[in-house]
Amino acid sequence: MTTSLLARDLTLGYGDAPIVSELSLEVPDDSFTIVIGPNACGKSTLLRGLARLLRPTAGAVLLDGTDIRASKPKDTARRLGLLPQSAIAPDGITVADLVGRGRFPHQSAMRTWSSADEAAVSEAMAATGVTELSRRLVDELSGGQRQRVWVAMALAQQTKHLLLDEPTTFLDIAHQIELMELFTDLHRSGTTLVAVLHDLNHAARYATHLVAMRDGAIVAQGDPQEIITADLVEAVYDLPCQVITDPVSGTPLVLPLGRRSR
């Protein structure tokens, strides 16, 4: 198992109190790694650190052996993509144009739109199913459609690694599953994905490598089949539960024990 993207003794925090302290994580290549944990456990902070959005107060993030802060941003952008939580769609922009902006790392002053860009954008739109929306204004789309457009933009970047910060929040369940299936397809075609998810069961179902965090540290990581147990869930979430095998997917399914079933 090789690792191109890893965090080494990473300490991240805003101000004096570090949110993530001396954390080391190796993201296995060609994996679909999902990070879970309760609110304020540091999972989003970790992702932002991996995406070089945050400057670490100690430690480093390495991509293909070099510190990502030492590389030129455009070089890194060709290898590492991010779907941020808080992206703003400029007023009046069409779907095609927004997806097109994802090609920025591959463009230069002399080559502002090449056939490679063309192909990448149309493939990305086809993969996310937004080709018919191509000329529509992003402002006019529904939440689910808009999120797919953002994913298309990240796909158009054509990076080996893709980081996703809570990509399914605010979507209804059908769209959530649709998106997770899309990510699985992506994973199967060779992209290494690292996602932060809220939904534990989705994580258990889709991840090939699961990372459970609490209070800024990793509690457990590995194959979901192996590590998801009732004890782990209780340790991470303070949630008493029962873990069974999902009859549909064969992956662990966490059933919380409410007050009445105890």
Pick the closer one to another protein by CB: 36 or 54: 54
Residues 138-157 binding another protein (CB under 8 A) are: 154, 157
- 3 lines the binding site for another protein (CB under 8 A): no
For residue 119, give every residue at least 6 positions away whose Cβ sits within 8 Å of its Cβ, in sequence order, or none. Answer: none
Spell out a b/e string for 83-93, using b for 16 or more CB atoms within 10 Å of the CB, else e. bbeeeebeeeb
- Residue 52 makes contact with another protein by CB under 8 A: yes
- Three-class secondary structure of residue 6 per DSSP: strand
- Residue from 11, 44, 57, 122 touching another protein (CB under 8 A): that is 122
Span 192-231, contacts to another protein by CB under 8 A: none
Residue 51 binds to another protein (criterion: CB under 8 A): yes
Separation CA 94–CA 139 (nearest Å): 8
Of 13 and 100, the one with the shorter C-beta distance to another protein is 100
Beta carbon nearer to another protein, 2 or 115 = 115
Say whether residue 69 binds another protein (CB under 8 A): no
Q: Which of 3, 44, 57, 134 binds another protein (CB under 8 A)?
A: 134
- Pattern 83-112, another protein, x by CB under 8 A: -xxxxxxxxxxx-xx--xxx-xx-x-xxxx
Q: How far apart are CA 33 and CA 163, in angstroms?
A: 9
Task: Give yes or no for residue 13 binding another protein (CB under 8 A).
Answer: no
> Which tokens belong to 144?
């689910």
DSSP 189-233: TT-EEEEE-S-HHHHHHH-SEEEEEETTEEEEEE-HHHH--HHHH
User: What single-letter amino acid sits at 241?
Assistant: C
Q: Which amino acid is at 126?
A: A
What is the Cα–Cα distance from 41 to 154, expressed in whole angstroms? 26
Nearer to another protein, 15 or 65 (CB): 15
Between 79 and 214, name the residue whose CB sits nearer to another protein: 79
Stretch that binds another protein, among 36-44, 131-139, 191-199, 225-233 (CB under 8 A): 131-139
| Cβ 153 vs Cβ 102: under 8 Å | yes
Shortest CB 109 distance to another protein, Å: 7
H or E element in which residue 75 lies: helix 73-79
Q: Which residues bind another protein (CB under 8 A)?
A: 48, 51-53, 72-78, 80-82, 84-94, 96-97, 100-102, 104-105, 107, 109-115, 117-119, 121-122, 125, 134-136, 154, 157
